Amino acid sequence: MPFLELTVSCTEAGQPRYERALESVGALAVTLADAHADAPDEQAIFEPGVGQTPMWGELVLTALFEGGTPEALLLHALAAADEGIDWSQAQFREVADQDWERAWMDQYEPLKFGERTWIVPWNHDLPDDADAPEAAVVRLDPGLAFGSGTHPTTALCLQWFDTLATQGALDDASVLDFGCGSGILALAALKLGANRAIGVDNDPQALTATVDNAERNEVGDRLAVYLPQDEPAATYPVVVANILASALVALADTLAARVAPGGRIALSGILAGQEDEVLARYADMFEQLQVEQLDDWIRISGVRRR
């Protein structure tokens, strides 16, 4: 069955009102996109910092309605839902029905990071190299995951974990994954030899996805998840934080306090050009700071000063 798609532009400030109005008249789904995604100076948003919901200044909202919904009647209902919104620029088109999740899963291929680490979707057979005793394989459902390893920031962290495992630094270690999303990093650490992992995220759905993925990967008994306000105070030999640069700067003292003396940290989610501010913020607390870049993204790693 086809759907009716409505597209309208709005500002960041007006977005909540538009979305409420669309949902009140029966929108099946509402998605947001950058109105200037093709501009060379577009604002990149990867993953919210803890307690943050970053948004573009100007957005395009796309809403899906049941096929056959009369456009004029829908506009009338939207105008009645919020008389302060101008819907005259809304555009409509008919879109074919399809299994969107299955379409994404069919395009998602196994990925290898470093020497041993593999991220493989559940619907895909293990590659020969991943079907080996030394391979560290994380199986994910792309339909549930917030992070799948395809983004450079996640890839940089997976490569870092793989290197730590080669050095023996993960053996029987406890790992903190701050901003865990799907839990992909915590799961990779456990598969690579860590004894226990803690996942922290401000989104309850992320915590649910992390627990689900841990159970599917048979490591649920070695992973615990918390909202930031519930996280127990503790120190860890290995900490990873894959969030935004602004959040890394704001949370520097908090993150540093989680790393045991001589412990290691990886900071990711940093756009090229933002690394100097992050380096300056962490320099007094960490040594051996190193910068690694993949595409337009940066990972900073270091060792906690004793």
- Give the Cα separation of 203 and 236 in Å (integer): 22
| pLDDT value, residue 51 | 41
140 closest CA partner among 194, 240, 209, 68: 209
| 59 and 157 belong to one structural domain | no
Structural domain count of the chain: 2
CB distance 191 to 138 below 8 Å? yes
| 59 and 152 belong to one structural domain | no
| pLDDT value, residue 209 | 87
CATH of the domain at 22: 3.30.70.120
Q: Which domain holds residue 210?
A: 106-304
Residues lower than pLDDT 70 in the chain: 1, 34-57, 97-108, 141-150
User: Which residues belong to the annotated binding site for S-adenosyl-L-methionine?
Assistant: 154, 179, 201, 242
Q: Dihedral (C-alpha) 12, 18, 20, 23: value to the nearest 10 degrees?
A: -130
| pLDDT value, residue 217 | 95
| 28 and 177 belong to one structural domain | no
Residues 103-143: pLDDT tens digits? 545 556 788 999 999 999 887 888 898 998 899 999 986 54
Residues 208-242: pLDDT tens digits? 889 999 999 999 999 999 999 999 989 999 999 99
Residue 91 CA to chain centroid, in angstroms? 30
User: Which residues belong to the annotated binding site?
Assistant: 154, 179, 201, 242
